Structure 1
Amino acid sequence: MIDLPPYADRDLVAERLPLIFPEGTPNRNYCVRELAASTVFAALYVGAVEGTGCYLGPVHVYRMTNEQAARAEDAERLGYDKAVLKRGGHVSGARWYADNTREPIRDETLRDGLVAIGAITRREDLPTTSGKPRYALKRDFAALFDPALAGEALEKRIAEFQATHLSKSALARVTIMQAGAAARSDGVLVTFPSGETRPLAPGPSSFIAQGVVEVFAPRFLETPAVLWLSESGNKVVVRDDRIAASIGLNIEADKNLPDLILADLAPRDPLIVFVEVVATDGAITPRRQEAIFDLTDAAGFDRRQIAFVTAYQDRASAGFKKTVTQLAWGSFAWFVSEPDHIVILRTGSGTCASLAQLVPG
Structure 2
Amino acid sequence: MPESLPPLVGVDEVLRRLQTIFPREAFDAAVSNPLGAQAITAMLYGGAVIADDDVVTKQHTIVKPTTCLWLQESVLVTRTADDERRAWIAAAAAHSNAKKKTQELVESWDLTFHPPYKDGTREPLRDETFAAWLDRGAIKSLPDVQTNYPNARWALTSSFASLFDPALTGPELGTAIEAWRTAHLGRLDLVRVQTLRDRDREAHSVEVRLPNGRTRHLEPGDSSRILKGVIEQWAAERLADPVVLTISEPGDKVYVIDDAFLARLGILIDQRSLLPDAVIIDIGADPAMVWIVEAVASDGPVNEGRRADLLAWAVDQRIDPNTCRFLSAFLSRNHSAARRRLKDLAVGTYAWYLDEPSRELSWHEISEER
Residues 162-173 of structure 1 mapped to structure 2, 5 A cutoff: 162-173=181-192
CA contact (8 A) 1:48 1:135 kept: yes
Give the letter aligned to residue 88 of structure 1: K
Query: How far is 1:217 from its partner?
Result: 1.9
Provide closer, same or farther for how the CA distance between residues 215 and 162 of structure 1 changes in structure 2, counting only shifts above 3 A: same
d(CA) in 2 for partners of 1:192 and 1:303?
A: 25
More divergent stretch after superposition (48-57 vs 248-257):
248-257
SS at match of 1:209: helix
Look up the match of 1:46: 46
Query: How far is 1:123 from its partner?
Result: 0.5
SS at match of 1:81: helix
Look up the match of 1:308: 326
d(CA) in 2 for partners of 1:130 and 1:348?
A: 40
* Structure 1: 5+ residue stretches without partners: 354-361
Query: How far is 1:302 from its partner?
Result: 4.0
Query: How far is 1:25 from its partner?
Result: 5.1
* Structure 2: 5+ residue stretches without partners: 52-58, 107-111
Look up the match of 2:82: 74
Look up the match of 2:220: 202
SS at match of 2:338: helix
Match of 1:83 among 91, 102, 114: 91
Match of 1:62 among 69, 81, 97: 69
Query: How far is 1:138 from its partner?
Result: 0.4
CA contact (8 A) 1:23 1:174 kept: no
d(CA) in 2 for partners of 1:343 and 1:194?
A: 27
CA contact (8 A) 1:23 1:177 kept: no
SS at match of 1:186: coil
* Deviation sequence 1:159-217 (CA, Å, 0-9, x none): 2211111012321232123212322x232112222322221111111111111122222
Residues 88-99 of structure 1 mapped to structure 2, 5 A cutoff: 88-89=100-101, 90=103, 91=106, 92-99=112-119
SS at match of 2:49: coil
CA contact (8 A) 2:243 2:282 kept: yes
SS at match of 2:40: helix
Kindly, what percent of the aligned residue pairs are identical? 32
TM-score (norm 1): 0.90
Provide closer, same or farther for how the CA distance between residues 127 and 137 of structure 1 changes in structure 2, counting only shifts above 3 A: same
Match of 2:175 among 156, 167, 178: 156
CA contact (8 A) 1:313 1:337 kept: yes
Provide closer, same or farther for how the CA distance between residues 234 and 10 of structure 1 changes in structure 2, counting only shifts above 3 A: same
More divergent stretch after superposition (121-130 vs 6-15):
121-130
Residues 228-247 of structure 1 mapped to structure 2, 5 A cutoff: 228-247=246-265
More divergent stretch after superposition (233-242 vs 281-290):
233-242
d(CA) in 1 for partners of 2:63 and 2:205?
A: 46
CA contact (8 A) 2:26 2:332 kept: no
TM-score (norm 2): 0.88
SS at match of 1:124: coil
Look up the match of 2:310: 292
Query: How far is 1:241 from its partner?
Result: 2.9
CA contact (8 A) 1:144 1:158 kept: yes
Query: How far is 1:343 from its partner?
Result: 1.1
1:264 aligns with 2:272: no
Query: How far is 1:243 from its partner?
Result: 2.4
Q: CA RMSD in A?
A: 2.1
d(CA) in 2 for partners of 1:101 and 1:22?
A: 23
d(CA) in 2 for partners of 1:257 and 1:21?
A: 37
* Deviation sequence 1:280-325 (CA, Å, 0-9, x none): 1110111111112223345564433111111111121111111100
Look up the match of 1:17: 18
Residues 275-354 of structure 1 mapped to structure 2, 5 A cutoff: 275-297=293-315, 301-349=319-367, 353=370
* Deviation sequence 1:225-263 (CA, Å, 0-9, x none): 111111123221345433222211211135542110111
Query: How far is 1:129 from its partner?
Result: 5.0
d(CA) in 2 for partners of 1:209 and 1:128?
A: 42
Provide closer, same or farther for how the CA distance between residues 349 and 126 of structure 1 changes in structure 2, counting only shifts above 3 A: closer
d(CA) in 2 for partners of 1:39 and 1:87?
A: 16
Provide closer, same or farther for how the CA distance between residues 130 and 260 of structure 1 changes in structure 2, counting only shifts above 3 A: closer
SS at match of 2:325: strand
Provide closer, same or farther for how the CA distance between residues 106 and 198 of structure 1 changes in structure 2, counting only shifts above 3 A: same
d(CA) in 1 for partners of 2:216 and 2:5?
A: 56
